[in-house]
Structure 1
């Protein structure tokens, strides 16, 4: 009887080991080892509503010197209703800043991530009003995911500092000044630094409004991020981050993840490259219409974070010692 039990245990253990090995092999053969730098032909241009001629997006512009002070990349998917609120607030702040500081220049790049609504048309109204020197619209041929949209926007940007901000307007745009102040204090000899907007100071109030199950999932997600990829950052997922041009070049030519978990990989790469990372508390409010499904999205992102770590452990993905400059 004891021999039979031992035999069953050994067989089950072998099955588990075989399943694990098969899973690792599957991950290895189905993973693209290179960052997703592809562009469709239509993504190489932006439209000037005041001039019917197509204009070429600089790409990858990060290999060239900056020509404006601040680039703001706004990933947008089906945001025809929320985008105008965000753009009105951002442009009011940036325009007033330019009036008081003539040396300040900026651009906003709205990246329409394959929307099924009129997001592009809504954004083009701002290009018409403010000119394409201030507002450019990059319309993706197919949905890439938030990470893919941010990457293509960053690689088409002209700024000395680059910020990406969610289209929902949940973050108070004027808080960019706090992030910039922190960024300027952090630059190292290679002029590389990243500053994350943070909602961690609001977590106590938000927990009081959540169910016990959602609270457990939220803390479980934080633990997965901390244990597998990123430590020392309280809020990795806030869609309000700024970085120097040099840091953006290193990070976005190495980044692989196209969807929600891209922030985690971005900060993981930054920590591995020893790029200084700051975190600044910002004003933030919940906006209706979120694309995130609280329970499903956290579980999905937890799985993606586990896969990020496995892919780096297996050395399918690698962090180059030098920047992956693209021609």
Structure 2
């Protein structure tokens, strides 16, 4: 009986190893080491809703001409977007910051584009531009194309639901200044490397009290997978309030492969590989109804993505562009 069991284990191990080897060979043969960033002619332009004029977006590789770009990925967000934009614009208008907001409609089928264009008409395309993607790319794909179209020295991506309030932005910017040891103009930070991410980790105790045991287990399981497969030492990888210097955004988003929910984790993994400083700052956060994340399915998808991110980078199927330039 023991002999038979040993044979079963031997053949099962060999079978598992051959499957893993086949997967690795498949990824090496089919994967692109660097991402191919596809963008249609229409997606390279924005429309001035007041005049109908079609203008081309600038490139992230150009020199900055503003202090701050706010990138807002939006998929069917006609209901939640107005309150978020009102709060964002009120805050930025009361500051001395020169800014732009880029709303990236990720193949929306509702009135998201119309809502965003009304705001653009109100404050002008110098301050608010709409990037309309012809097909749904996923949140990561939408954020990347918005980033690559930005003019700011600092680039912030913020969720369209307004769960994180813009009153916390000053904390994020000050943390970036302290990390990079920069005083004076924000634009001095453009060519430096730094990332500051909003964190909800300090709210975890309260949120656990309101969650079911099952959802709590899923949350801890996801944290464990992030620690094992991607980045260690970051308590909240998924908060939609992250600030990049212009150079850090260019280095990270040019190498980003994952375009859906797990893109935040890959971004931070890329940043760690490039030795870009990453700082977490606690932010206020309120859960807003209408989330596109389905608790079980989205976490399963992210878990699979995390394992595949680790495997592809480990075997060299994916590489980081800036690291090898």
Instruction: Give the TM-score taking structure 2 as reference length.
Output: 0.93
Please tell me whether the aligned partners of residues 274 and 323 of structure 2 are also in contact (alpha carbons under 8 angstroms).
Answer: no
For residue 253 of structure 1, report the CA deviation from its aligned partner.
1.0
> Can you list the C-alpha shifts for 1:115-145, whole angstroms capped at 9, x where unaligned?
1111111100011000100000000011000
Question: Could you tell me how far 1:293 is from its partner in structure 2?
Answer: 0.7
1:91 to 76, 79, 89: 89
Q: Work out the CA distance in 1 between the residues paired with 2:202 and 2:234.
A: 12
C-alpha distance in structure 2 between counterparts of 1:90 and 1:3, whole Å: 69
Query: Is 1:122–2:115 an aligned residue pair?
Result: yes
Q: Corresponding residue for 2:36?
A: 36
User: Equivalent residue of 1:152, what SS?
Assistant: helix
Task: Pick from 69, 72, 85 the counterpart of residue 70 of structure 2.
Answer: 72
Note if 1:313 corresponds to 2:306.
no
For the pair 1:147 / 2:140, whether they are aligned, the reply is yes
**Structure 2 residue ranges without an equivalent (≥5):** 182-188
For residue 92 of structure 2, give the secondary structure of its aligned residue in structure 1: helix
Q: 1:302 deviation in Å?
A: 1.1
Question: Structure 1: 5+ residue runs without aligned partners?
Answer: none
Per the TM alignment, residue 11 of structure 1 is displaced from its structure 2 partner at its CA by 2.3
Take 1:9 and 1:128, find their aligned partners in 2: how far apart are those partners? 68
Show the counterpart of 1:53.
53
Alignment of 1:184-203 (within 5 A): 184-187=177-180, 191-203=192-204
Q: Partner of 1:16 in structure 2?
A: 16
**Secondary structure, in 3 states, of the residue corresponding to 1:238?**
coil
Query: Alignment length, in residue pairs?
Result: 317
CA–CA separation in structure 1 for the residues paired with 2:30 and 2:79: 37
For residue 74 of structure 1, give the secondary structure of its aligned residue in structure 2: strand
Partner Cα distance (2:88, 2:235) in 1: 26
Q: Write the distance in 1 (CA, Å) between the matches of 2:215 and 2:291.
A: 16
Q: Does 78-87 or 183-192 show the bigger shift?
A: 183-192
Q: Distance in 2 between matches of 1:92 and 1:312?
A: 42
Q: CA RMSD in A?
A: 1.6
Deviation (angstroms), 1:321: 4.5
Q: Distance in 1 between matches of 2:242 and 2:9?
A: 50
Q: Distance in 2 between matches of 1:31 and 1:155?
A: 23
Partner of residue 131 from structure 1, selected from 124, 132, 135? 124
Q: Deviations over 1:10-69 (max 9, x none)?
A: 3222222222222223333443322231101110110101111211111xx221111011
1:173 deviates by 1.2
Partner of 2:254: 253
Q: Deviations over 1:83-107 (max 9, x none)?
A: 001000000111111xxx3xx3100
Aligned equivalents of 1:2, 1:242: Cα separation in 2:
59
Alignment of 1:168-317 (within 5 A): 168-187=161-180, 191-317=192-318
User: Does the CA contact (< 8 Å) of 1:250 and 1:323 recur in 2?
Assistant: no
Residue 320 of structure 1 deviates from its aligned partner by: 3.4
